Amino acid sequence: MSISTSDAATPPDISPKPRNRWLALAVIAVSQLLIVLDATIVNIALPTAQVDLNISDADRQWMITAYALAFGGLLLLGGRIADFTGRKRAFIIGLLGFAGASALGGLATNAETLFAARALQGAFGALMAPAALSLLTVTFTEAKERARAFGVYGAIAGGGGAIGLLLGGVLTEYASWRWTLLVGTPIAIVAALAAVRFVDESRAEGNTRYDLPGAFTSTAGLVALVYGFTKASEDGWGSAVTVGWLIAAAVLLVAFVVIELRSSHPLLPMRVILDRNRGGAYISALLIGSGLFGMFLFLTFYLQLTLGYSALMTGVAFLPFTLGIIAGAGFSAQLQTRVGPRVLMFGGLLLAAIGMVMLTQIGVDTGFWTHVFPAEVVLSFGMGVTFGPMSNTALVGVAGHDAGVASALINTAQQIGGSLGTALLNTIFTSAVAGYLADHRAEITSPDQAPALQAVATVHSYTVAFWVSAALIGVAALVAVILVRAGRDEVTAHEGAPVAI
């Protein structure tokens, strides 16, 4: 889960100070809470939903990746549409569409409907999120008021994930997993009605052409890549179906790059990502998302299925992660004016990789306080240290007309990384389970031993996934230390986009 900006750097066309700006902030804050909640609330419900709808282990990751992929893949296009068709209009359409998609997912009777609903939530969220942040920018024009407004917005971005985990546990435990989706419907409808009354319209001036070919090829290419990873867990990496999807993904993504290079109004100007500092931030965000999203998935299953935690207790067990991010972010903020982003990003990512390695030590008989809790604290603190300088580095040296795209891209990269990483790690997990069972099947001398072997194989495969996640975050640390060269003065001159997990 995450947030973005659109081309918020475009001078606003509304000069008078909106009368209902604080009520507008409340409406925008609710919409942001919905987006952040939805990225985490289903994690706790996933084990129950998987059993209820007979979802296979290979396909279960689509409940997370369908949302993240649609959200991340359409975020830049959503920002463009909101800027030029009217931010209030796009905001309300996004809220109402999100409400409908949430209802569809909550009432789903099969896996296909659930995954489609999650993709629709992500698509409407990609329209709503950049519109909300742009509205915030044009509504609060005074420096002090804008700082307060962004403080509220950032607090929700940071704390919304924890609320989602807790709420997901409460709803799954005392109502139904379906309510983790249905709860968004009434909230979104009320927010849309309030937006009609309290939010003022604004739009950007200029050419309104949209890079639809770029949006199609990028999103289709990413979907094909994720689906190729999924098919690899079912048919193997060498199967014709898997290879076919991966080739299709490569062709579509190459086509996207060619389109962006030739387009007069590209969705993603290549000049934004080719700068070494900004490129280092985007690659790091992609790798972080790849490692962290899968971690949430497997740790949820470990807590519920191995340690026997209830849905509510699982949500509570993730609280140290959120608190660690807040502590790390505070620590990083104090140092950003003293050291450059390279030191903070490398140190934070290295610490996060160590925390992920600590998670590889879990076993069937290990406990939360001895193994999970220490790893959560180290991992989350490292992530908290990283997010601030990484977000700010994404804007170093960017031209004013590219500021919106540059801000949005840090969250887009994280969401896309999350969807790709979750699919890849889930494939690695299922292959590891099958391999472990095949290697140790001869040790079973009676049918009664089969469940124990299955439990050991499952936890072993979780640790394999955690090792891969640690490697991904470790590579992100190397990327930061090699590519990021911006000084502390360059970074502190910019306000990065809020980043949330």
One-character DSSP codes across 167-212: HHHHHHHHT-TTHHHHTHHHHHHHHHHHHHHHPPP----S-----H
Burial 160-195 (b: 16+ CB within 10 A, else e): bbbbbbbbbbbbbbeebbbbbbbbbbebbbebbebb
Same domain, 262 and 274: no
| 7 domain-assigned | no
Same domain, 491 and 466: yes
pTM score, two decimals? 0.81
Q: Residue 44's CB: how many other CB atoms inside 10 A? A: 33
Distance CA 318, CA 295 (A): 12
Closest CA to 241 of 251, 252, 230: 230
Burial of 475 (0-12, 13-18, 19+ CB in 10 A): middle
| 375 domain-assigned | yes
Task: Please list, in sequence order, all residues whose beta carbon lies within 8 angstroms of the beta carbon of residue 495, skipping any fewer than 6 positions away.
Answer: 150, 392, 395
| 322 domain-assigned | yes
Tens digit of pLDDT at every position of the chain (501 positions): 443 334 444 444 444 555 678 888 888 888 888 887 887 788 888 999 999 999 988 888 888 888 888 888 888 788 778 877 888 999 999 999 999 999 999 999 999 999 999 999 999 998 988 888 778 777 877 767 766 776 677 667 656 666 787 888 889 889 999 999 999 999 999 999 999 988 888 776 655 567 888 888 988 888 888 888 888 877 888 889 999 999 999 999 999 999 999 888 888 888 888 889 999 999 999 999 899 888 888 999 999 999 999 989 998 998 898 888 888 888 888 887 788 889 999 999 999 999 999 999 999 999 999 999 999 999 999 998 998 888 888 878 877 667 667 777 887 888 888 888 888 898 899 999 999 999 988 888 788 888 889 999 999 999 999 999 999 999 999 999 999 987 766 665 555 555 555
Angle between helix axes 143-174 and 21-52 (nearest 10 degrees) is 30
Radius of gyration from C-alpha coordinates of the chain: 22
pLDDT, tens only, 133-169: 778 777 877 767 766 776 677 667 656 666 787 888 8
Same domain, 184 and 295: no
Distance CA 30, CA 297 (A): 26
Same domain, 160 and 101: yes
| 8 domain-assigned | no
Distance CA 95, CA 101 (A): 10
Same domain, 280 and 299: yes
| 70 domain-assigned | yes
Same domain, 292 and 188: no
Same domain, 232 and 110: no
**DSSP letter assigned to residue 497:** P
| 242 domain-assigned | yes
Same domain, 231 and 110: no
Give how many domains the chain has, as a whole number. Answer: 3
| 133 domain-assigned | yes
Between CA 58 and CA 64, with CA 59 as vertex, the angle to 5 degrees is 120
Same domain, 401 and 332: yes
Q: Coil, helix or strand for 487?
A: coil
Closest CA to 73 of 272, 237, 227, 216: 216
Q: Domain residues for 335?
A: 269-440+447-500
Same domain, 71 and 44: yes
Same domain, 380 and 452: yes
Under a CB-based contact definition with an 8 Å cutoff, are residues 68 and 129 in contact? no
Under a CB-based contact definition with an 8 Å cutoff, are residues 54 and 111 in contact? yes
Same domain, 132 and 182: yes
Q: Which two tokens stand for residue 301?
A: 């299953």
Q: Give the domain-ending residue among 163, 182, 202.
A: 202
Phi, psi of 366 (to 5 degrees): -80, 160
Between CA 262 and CA 270, with CA 268 as vertex, the angle to 5 degrees is 65
For position 95, which CATH number holds? 1.20.1250.20
Closest CA to 187 of 71, 37, 39: 37
Number of H helices, E strands in the chain: 18, 0
Under a CB-based contact definition with an 8 Å cutoff, are residues 252 and 273 in contact? no
Closest CA to 29 of 170, 163, 151, 179: 151
